[in-house]
Amino acid sequence: MADKTTLKYTPEHEWLDIDGNVATVGITAYAAEKLGDVVFVELPDASVAVTAGSVIGEIESTKSVGELFAPVDGTVTENNAAVVDEPSLVNSDPFGEGWLIKVQFEKAPDGLLSWDEYSALVGE
């Protein structure tokens, strides 16, 4: 499990673990809890170009369907096939095995939140 205090966050409840110019992206435990039991995950394929703020996938739960947004402009280098095969990983380990995609970017994304800022946003 990633140390959630060292990650960056979006207001759309996604986390980013940035290593050089690659960001591993997932949804937060808060988002997973609000969604309920995740039953389906659709992710972009590797080599797909994504634009920050655009819809790039879908997460469906027993309660609702949520959209996955690209947090950064770049190219998907990998998607987590394990989550597609076993969507419940998003609920059971959102900061670890439940990661969604890896995106290579040229310019670091603006407007990301620290753990303290994100915690304040969601009231944790």
Kindly report, residue by residue over 57-80, the tens digit of the pLDDT.
999 999 889 899 999 999 999 999
Kindly report, residue by residue over 19-49, the tens digit of the pLDDT.
999 999 999 999 999 999 999 999 999 999 9
Beta strand residue intervals within 51-123, DSSP E: 55-61, 65-69, 74-79, 101-104
CA angle 63, 69, 75 (to 5 degrees): 140
The pLDDT assigned to 1 comes to: 54
Q: Which amino acid is at 57?
A: G
What are the sequence ranges of the domains in the chain? 8-107
CA distance 105 to 111: 15
Fold of the domain spanning 8-107: OB fold (Dihydrolipoamide Acetyltransferase, E2P) (2.40.50)
| Residues in a beta bridge with 113 | 9
